A and B are shown apart, each in its own frame.
Chain A
Amino acid sequence: MSLKLSSKATIAIVVALMLFSVVMAFENVSLAQTSPQIPVYKVVGSADLSNPGTASYWNNIPWINISLTANIPNAPTSGLTHYLLVKAVWNGSWLFILEEWPSPNPAYNAWSAAAGALYPSASGPGLFRIIELTPGTTYTVENNYTNYVSIVNGKQVTGRIVFNYSGITLPAPNGTQIYVMPNGTILLYHSLRPMEELLYSDGMFYGYYANSTWYYPDRAAIMWYLGSGTPTKDGMYIGGKYPGQQFDGFTLKDAGGSLVQQGGSANIWMWVSGATWNNATYDPAFKANLWENESLTGLPYVDPGDHGFAVPLYTNNTNMYEVDTSGIWYAPVASSGLNGSLFFIWTGAKYVDGNWIIEFARPLAVPPAYEPYMPNITVGKTYYVAFAVWQGPLGETLFDKSITPSFLTLQLVTTPPTTTTSTTSTSTTSTSTTSAPSVSSSIPSTTLDVTLVGVVIAIVALIALYVVYRR
């Protein structure tokens, strides 16, 4: 039997409508989330980076409380900062992001290892990393490796150190230096970076060692996703210097710091208390005038207004790079035409009442040369951002940190915020009914997904029963 033309058209319309309604069903969820998790409110004014958070417009902006989690769940020294408060505004040409988090023990005078490495007379905490191995890890010195030397508790011995944890053994490279604490815990001194990946994958990485005199700088970073689509993984790989690095008989699949999100890349703004803070008392790099010394840094880093700065980093699936600098932390992403933009992202920071307060400031637009590596921030576009915090005195450094469990959405908005807090300023008489942003960020997306699944199943079951039992 052949279908009539009209009934074919009917079927086509029905199918199209059906598809449309399914699409709308999923669209609906994002309708529920159209207010971004981090709205960037429009304000009038400029940033006061010498005293972050004091500009009057900040009073009208509600804090957004962002939960943080360990980026490596199995290291007890990871995930020690449990939340981060964030506010964001824009003034037409610049973006300002204010962060605050509790940090009972600030890392004064701890070097960022990369900055310390540039400065010949650097001394003090943070210059290199000390890794604490999982309790229960033991070591032996294999004497038959006669061309190896090892340093155990300060004494040089001939032979190769082999770590053993629950029957898993890991031979250490030549020249490995360890210290065995009285309780038997092994500390591994300034090893090469690939060791972290090897220790971690064998369950021997307990965390970075810190005590009252040896610790790492505090840090805060914002990651801006640059790839297409919705990113799901805001983590980075632990790994070697480059993908496929052969290290002491091991092949390391990924480069440390390369982005896990496949096909994606990201720009990172990294503030470090011991290198970018611009505090002549507690920031050893600024104390030593390191950034003004072109013979040490390789490029003229000019600070136009006595600010702190954030290191501009770029990460993709291959590796982590620096944008338009000489390669102090990581290799430059482009090796020619460098202008030295270390001070492109400004920061201001202060430590008050047990909390760090950091303000990031950056022009919304970036020069064309930076565009592949840094986002141009415009109205109407949704950005995916992730946050990370390191508390150096507690042993957080490098890939051992507290991060947002997933990317958050960020948008420039033109509406003023609703004043839910009872500030003394005259309450806005605007009729806008924008809901408080913290509400939508408090319902995890999995909950909404599961709700949607339930709704779809219920409807499908209803229709299926109706169709089947109609007969």
Chain B
Amino acid sequence: MGVSEWFKERLGLDDLPFFRTPDYMYKVEYWLGALVAGSFIYTVISGLILLLYYNPEAGYSSTETLIQEVPYGSVVLYSHLYGAYAMIILAYVHMFRNYFDGAYKKPRELLWILGVLMLVLTLGTAFLGYSLIGDALATSAVDVGEGIITSIPSLSFLIPILFGNYDAGDYGRVLAWHIILVALIGVLFMLHFFMAEHYGMMPSKKEKNKAPAVYTKEEWQKFNPWWPRNFVYMTSLVFMTWGFILLIPNALAYLNGLPQELNPFLNPKPAPPPNSPAAAHITTYPPWFFLFLYKIADFTSDVVVFLLIGVIIPLIYLLLVPFIDRSPYLDLKKRRLFTAFGILMITYLIQTTIWGDLTPGVEIPVYQQVIVYLPPAVITLAGVFLIPTSRKAVASPYGTLGFLVASLLFSGSLVTLVVSPSALTATVFALFAVLFLLAARSLTPVAIKVEKQSQQPEPQPVVSESPRNLEVKKRLAEVLISLLFIMSVVLAAQLWTIPATGYASNMFGVDLGLIFVMLGEAISLYHYVVYRK
């Protein structure tokens, strides 16, 4: 431990104002924020590299040059795109996880609000970055964005401010905003990060089941210090994240001729330029993370209504939820309405995204919106409100299973009823509705029982395995570590034979990604060997 101690002393690592971490928190679900930060940092670094080559006055052609001629340019560009994708997806996961945990409650309200603002900024930044490519998709996305703004006449003045001379092919202003917003995210991130370190990660409900869910100074002092365990664990997470960010898009670059529905998600390559004849033959679609907005635009021709449904109401809800849900309870069973809202937000986000992907620009009448959005709402509300009511204990996997079967039958019959209303379908629906309610009730004792159990002081968790078993596993992990290192070295040694440009060059990204993933896994195994008790 000499080296570690040396660094600890020289850098004063024990005096860092970082949160000390209890043993049970070394699981990835406690580190989702670190994953977001990891992808953010990757995207910033790759973006700075791209900035060296990008010319905002020739957006499309400089992108093409970057892909065709700059050494490993396409590797950096595609992974920049997927770094942003990863950041968006992970930010959603991070947000919803904290939502269901009740992490927005006292004392973390500001932390939550900063996070929501960062999500908005991230989506905005991603949109601007997407526009910088200047292909037919980007220009059409900017057109749509400009169209939304101009349809509110008093906001038209924003267009030259936001987009500059975009339509004439000068993307300088968009590039500037792209960078400014990233800087803003960076500033908010620092605040978010230090507040998170101040309050610590959200403790397990077994430890703290009411807000304010923070450890006291005394409890805190007993946990692991940041150096070296957190450092090791974080390094493994960052390597893994970066590995996948490099690996996925560069592998996808070799897929050609995807079905149109998959293009928004799986095609890292730019589309043809907007003024080319080929542009007439492509379906334009927004970046996937705005597909949901694109679909909502098909629901109404009134832009104000559109903005209310798609942006303003969800955003205000998310910003204000710490002040709406003011009870100290963290348990989902005591926050049923908010749980239902959370599930519905996820459901509707995914549903609308898929809908926008399948039927871009096809107008949707109100009755079809009802067909699509009502059944999940009914199921969610029923599920959330009915689960814990009765008190007889009938715990078994069958309860859950029965509930699953019943809800599927119930929702299917509801759709049938709406599609073809008749006495027969109504009867079937009523039958399955009863079945669904019964199944939901039969589940409740499980929840109640668990609730009761969790109130009793449990014996110390008996998670530790038999020492011999653990010893064998650690041996195995050591072997794996050496294997991973050997494979990384083999891959790294042949990395330099990959041509820097052209068709084969994306293999560089694939290989580098694999090396990162393997290193991440090796470090994670190292963490296991050293710290697992």
Q: Restricting to A36-64, which residues have a CB under 8 Å from any CB of B? A: none
Query: Are B405 and A457 within 8 A (Cβ)?
Result: no
CA distance in complex: A457, B359 (Å): 20
A20 surroundings in chain B (CB, below 8 A): 405
Query: Are B331 and A469 within 8 A (Cβ)?
Result: yes
A444 surroundings in chain B (CB, below 8 A): 359, 368
Residue among B277, B346, B398, B416 making CB contact with A166, cutoff 8 Å = B277
Q: Restricting to A171-229, which residues have a CB under 8 Å from any CB of B? A: 201-204
CA distance in complex: A28, B425 (Å): 12
Query: Are A32 and B416 within 8 A (Cβ)?
Result: yes
Query: Are B419 and A461 within 8 A (Cβ)?
Result: no
Query: Are B420 and A435 within 8 A (Cβ)?
Result: yes
Contact of A162 with B by CB under 8 A:
no
A455 surroundings in chain B (CB, below 8 A): 375-376, 379, 407-408, 411-412
CA distance in complex: A359, B431 (Å): 44
Q: Restricting to B317-371, which residues have a CB under 8 Å from any CB of A? A: 331-332, 339, 343-344, 346-348, 350-351, 354-355, 358-359, 364, 368, 371
CA distance in complex: A469, B278 (Å): 52
B398 surroundings in chain A (CB, below 8 A): 14
- A442-453 vs B, CB cutoff 8 Å, 1 = contact: the mask equals 011011111111
Residue among B359, B379, B397, B408 making CB contact with A21, cutoff 8 Å = B408
- A433-471 vs B, CB cutoff 8 Å, 1 = contact: the mask equals 101000110011011111111111111011101110111
CA distance in complex: A260, B380 (Å): 41
Minimum CB–CB distance from B390 to chain A (whole Å) comes to 15
CA distance in complex: A332, B383 (Å): 61
Minimum CB–CB distance from A339 to chain B (whole Å) comes to 42
Minimum CB–CB distance from A171 to chain B (whole Å) comes to 16
Contact of A35 with B by CB under 8 A:
yes
Query: Are A448 and B351 within 8 A (Cβ)?
Result: no
A461 surroundings in chain B (CB, below 8 A): 343, 346-347, 380
CA distance in complex: A10, B398 (Å): 10
Q: Which residue of B lies closest to A74 (CB)?
A: B280
Contact of B216 with A by CB under 8 A:
no
CA distance in complex: A22, B205 (Å): 32
Q: Which residue of A lies closest to B420 (CB)?
A: A435
Minimum CB–CB distance from A141 to chain B (whole Å) comes to 22
Q: Restricting to A54-87, which residues have a CB under 8 Å from any CB of B? A: 74
Minimum CB–CB distance from A462 to chain B (whole Å) comes to 4
Minimum CB–CB distance from A28 to chain B (whole Å) comes to 3
B348 surroundings in chain A (CB, below 8 A): 454
Minimum CB–CB distance from B206 to chain A (whole Å) comes to 7
- B266-284 vs A, CB cutoff 8 Å, 1 = contact: the mask equals 0000000001111011000
B350 surroundings in chain A (CB, below 8 A): 453-454, 457
- A1-18 vs B, CB cutoff 8 Å, 1 = contact: the mask equals 000000000100010011
- Most chain B CB within a 10 A radius of its CB, from A167, A204, A447, A452: A447
CA distance in complex: A471, B450 (Å): 7
Residue among B280, B375, B403, B420 making CB contact with A35, cutoff 8 Å = B420
Query: Are B278 and A470 within 8 A (Cβ)?
Result: no
- B189-209 vs A, CB cutoff 8 Å, 1 = contact: the mask equals 000000000000000011000
Query: Are B332 and A469 within 8 A (Cβ)?
Result: yes
Contact of B424 with A by CB under 8 A:
yes
Query: Are B354 and A453 within 8 A (Cβ)?
Result: yes
Minimum CB–CB distance from A470 to chain B (whole Å) comes to 5
Contact of B126 with A by CB under 8 A:
no
A443 surroundings in chain B (CB, below 8 A): 368, 371, 419
Query: Are B347 and A470 within 8 A (Cβ)?
Result: no
Q: Which residue of B lies closest to A136 (CB)?
A: B277
Minimum CB–CB distance from B309 to chain A (whole Å) comes to 16
Contact of A168 with B by CB under 8 A:
yes
- Please classify how large the interface on chain A is, using the bins under 10, 10 to 19, 20 to 34, 35 or more: 35 or more
Query: Are B347 and A32 within 8 A (Cβ)?
Result: no
A467 surroundings in chain B (CB, below 8 A): 400
- A136-163 vs B, CB cutoff 8 Å, 1 = contact: the mask equals 0000000000000000000000000000
- B201-229 vs A, CB cutoff 8 Å, 1 = contact: the mask equals 00001100000000000000000000000
A450 surroundings in chain B (CB, below 8 A): 351, 354-355, 358, 372
CA distance in complex: A450, B351 (Å): 6
CA distance in complex: A167, B278 (Å): 11
B415 surroundings in chain A (CB, below 8 A): 28-29, 32, 448, 451-452
CA distance in complex: A118, B402 (Å): 69
Query: Are B281 and A439 within 8 A (Cβ)?
Result: no
- A300-342 vs B, CB cutoff 8 Å, 1 = contact: the mask equals 0000000000000000000000000000000000000000000
Contact of B151 with A by CB under 8 A:
no
Contact of B447 with A by CB under 8 A:
yes
Q: Which residue of A lies closest to B405 (CB)?
A: A21
Query: Are B372 and A454 within 8 A (Cβ)?
Result: yes
Query: Are A453 and B351 within 8 A (Cβ)?
Result: yes
Query: Are B408 and A469 within 8 A (Cβ)?
Result: no
Task: Decide: A14 near B277, CB < 8 A? Known: A458-B344, A469-B331.
Answer: no
Contact of B409 with A by CB under 8 A:
yes
Contact of A379 with B by CB under 8 A:
no
Contact of B401 with A by CB under 8 A:
yes
CA distance in complex: A448, B419 (Å): 9
Residue among A203, A435, A462 making CB contact with B280, cutoff 8 Å = A203
Minimum CB–CB distance from B401 to chain A (whole Å) comes to 6
Task: Decide: A454 near B376, CB < 8 A? Known: A18-B401, A28-B416, A29-B412.
Answer: yes
Query: Are A32 and B447 within 8 A (Cβ)?
Result: no
B276 surroundings in chain A (CB, below 8 A): 166-168
Contact of A352 with B by CB under 8 A:
no
Residue among B206, B368, B422 making CB contact with A447, cutoff 8 Å = B368
Query: Are B281 and A74 within 8 A (Cβ)?
Result: yes
- Most chain B CB within a 10 A radius of its CB, from A443, A453, A461: A461
Contact of A165 with B by CB under 8 A:
yes
CA distance in complex: A168, B372 (Å): 44
CA distance in complex: A343, B446 (Å): 71
CA distance in complex: A201, B278 (Å): 8
Contact of B155 with A by CB under 8 A:
no
A-B residue pairs, 5 tightest by C-beta: A203-B277, A28-B412, A435-B420, A25-B408, A454-B376
Known: A21-B404, A28-B411. 11 other contacts (CB 8 A): A18-B401, A168-B277, A203-B278, A444-B368, A447-B355, A450-B372, A453-B354, A454-B348, A454-B373, A455-B376, A458-B380
11 CB < 8 A contacts A-B:
A20-B405, A21-B405, A435-B421, A439-B420, A440-B420, A444-B368, A452-B415, A459-B383, A461-B380, A466-B387, A469-B205
